[in-house]
Structure 1
Amino acid sequence: MPLPLPGASPLNNWYAASANRQLDCPPLQGAVEADVCIVGGGFTGVNTAIELAQRGLSVVLLEAGQIGWGASGRNGGQLIRGVGHGLDQFENQLGAEGVRALKLMGLEAVEMVRQRVAEFGIECDLTWGYADLANKPKHLDDFRAEREELQSLGYAYDMQVLEKNQVHQVVQSDVYAGAMTDMGSGHLHPLNLLLGEATVAQQLGARLHQHSRVERIDYGNKIQLHTASGRVTANQLVLACNAYLQDLQPQLSSKILPAGSYVIATEPLAPERARQLIPQHMALCDQRVALDYYRFSADHRLIFGGACHYSGRDPKDIAAYMRQKMLRVFPELTDLRIEYQWAGMIGIGANRLPQIGQLPEQTNVFYAQAYAGHGVNATHLAAKILGEAVSGQASQGFELFSQVPHMTFPGGKYLRTPLLALGMAWVQFKELF
């Protein structure tokens, strides 16, 4: 659901300006019925609509703004292996085999995107190649351990750990202590991926409605959702709003913290200059809490994002703020013009694991949220899991994810954001040493 964010309009970011199709998804008018109603027109909602429509269920999807208005249409476009962070912490709840299954699902999630793009011929500039960047020498030990674990899980893609004197193989910058490449991860145009998937959902019979904010939900054996101009009656409900859920379902919104992330897109560079900066055309990401992530677009614009903010306040000038971060990595780009700037919210849970389940007191209501920066792939996994669970299929993923308890953030509606901002400031201070 939309929040009033400065610079956050879907019309002033590069993805919206370079969208390769327009959707016909008129606002909901009048009373309609469906087997399942989905709230939220991002990757989770649209792909859940595909999964359910493929199973023969009638689906209505309601989006408060435009399809892709939120994080799905504004993110950095990085498609990176894995879901969650530090999955071994869940061994007490899930057992060693359960944790192993989650790790395998995190690899499967990227393959889901690969298969969807190939199956439906979605044009979204999907490009393979990614590198984790080490901010400190100790990160190289972490990289080696992760590579060893991934190999033990059967990860078949090439991964190389690079020392500091080898970093220029992937990025022309002197600020990093090393890197780890991964040819099984990559990058894409996220909005074009989503618009292509929304078209697939419509072709399968799902009814998608933009500009149809849900104002009230009446729960029961039959669920009714009310918008300004219509009403949906459904047997089951899927809430797929993530950081934009707000007060629509307070029980769920209290378990995620919306965090601001910011992105700029430069003017196009000459192809040879772009190759000098990122020789293998990879997506790149460092290891800090308020991380930098960047890549080149298909038309050689530098897409540079990061600066995760928990304060609830956006920088006054996103372009100037992010330009400083870009120049720290690439000081030679002082001549480069910033042509687009935008902001958006990601949803983060306390344990950094995606939250997938159903409301305990209302078992015909399902949800998925809190992807903590891995949303492009994790949303596709969540949609598959929701498709299985909502349609009554046995689902190992749903069983595992729904077993993990998720903490309500302390401080209530008004204090949780400043409390977490204070805590994250302390974490970032410790990163300096």
Structure 2
Amino acid sequence: MGIRFERRYNGKIDQWIEGGRRPLYFHNRPFWIKSCSRMRHSIALRHRLLVRLGVPFSLFLLVLIIALGSLTYYSYARNRAEAARVPERIAYLTKERIISFFENSHRNLVIASKSARIMQLTDTERRFLDNITKEDPAIIELAIFDANGSEIYKVEEATASIAPLSEDITRAQYFIDTVHNGREKISEPKTSVYGTPYIIWALPILINRRPVGMIRATIDISVLWETVASASPDGTAHVYIVDTEGAILVSNRSVPAPRSQFARDIVINLRNDSDIYSYTGLLNAEVVGQAEILPLTDWIVVAEIPLSILMAETQKNTRILLIFTFLLLLLAAYEFATLRRYLFEPLSILIKNVENLGTGNYKARAHITVKNELSVLASVMNEMAEKILQYTSGLEEQVKGRTKELAEKVEILDRANQQLDRSGKLLIRRDL
């Protein structure tokens, strides 16, 4: 027989197709076992798609961000090296200009000392000394003294802002070094009663290589402001001169007073630590600085530039990198959200629906809201499930009808058998 029926006590009928590969079960039992196995393995499809689509895109974003970061770091390293050279150039340029300033004053003083006499000066010599003070704006007073400290001649600039010196000249260290020892002497910076910084520059007057007097020049070092200011025409650099005690002699910017101790600490740090890059400057801002020593006076020229100005290009590139990275992350989030909405979620719904169909739940439907090929596939699958549901429902009705018909026939056969049994018994009795 091609089909065999067997009666169960629970009233259910199972059907086997002899010689077939796939047994057919009803009442929520698996349908097409091999197909269901494939569907279970297809659950990993979404993860494979996520890996195959997401990993290359993520790697592309990662490589792009690394490339931009490398360019930004290269720009930062280049700007950092360039930033360290800018104040160095300004400090060196300022030092060279100040040295030129002192050399010019020294040349005039040497000429004056060689032409000066201890005795009465001639009108020509007086005019020559007057011209020196007029031509050199730094020399605001020029005086000649003999070995006893007596003043022989003095010429003073009409607009001089230096108060007259009231000290005993014979006790001054510059007089002792110049007249007694025959050496040039530059005094420590002094401040007049008007707050003007100045120095005393003394040269010996020699006759037969023996000092017989002294020429003293009072030099206003505030005129160095133009030299200091010209070192940074755009005004971005703070350039100032510090003496050996840390006092600020000249500055191209106004400095809160007193700042001597702070200026001394800055100079010490710059001179002792050549690798120092940035620090808090004299104006309480993060700066990059460089110090240069003036050989004649041991003063220090310091040039400071705010770090924010020097690293402006790097900060701009960093902002561009952050904005671009943020846009890339937004693009990645949009791409993954799009994949999730239009691919992963519909696939998940389809796979779940196929699993339900595989377990015999033909009432399950796949509802996909997006309009694409997967929604068309879901519609076709829903139609197929509806047809299978109708087919299985009709088949169950047929099975129930056949079962009822067979039950009636079996009952008829049972009654016939019982009647035959009774008839057989009657015949046996008659024969006996």
- Give the TM-score, by structure 1 length: 0.21
Q: Which has the higher contact order (CA 8 A, sep 6+)?
A: 1
- Give the number of the structure whose residues are more often helix, by fraction: 2
- Give the TM-score, by structure 2 length: 0.21
Bigger radius of gyration: 2
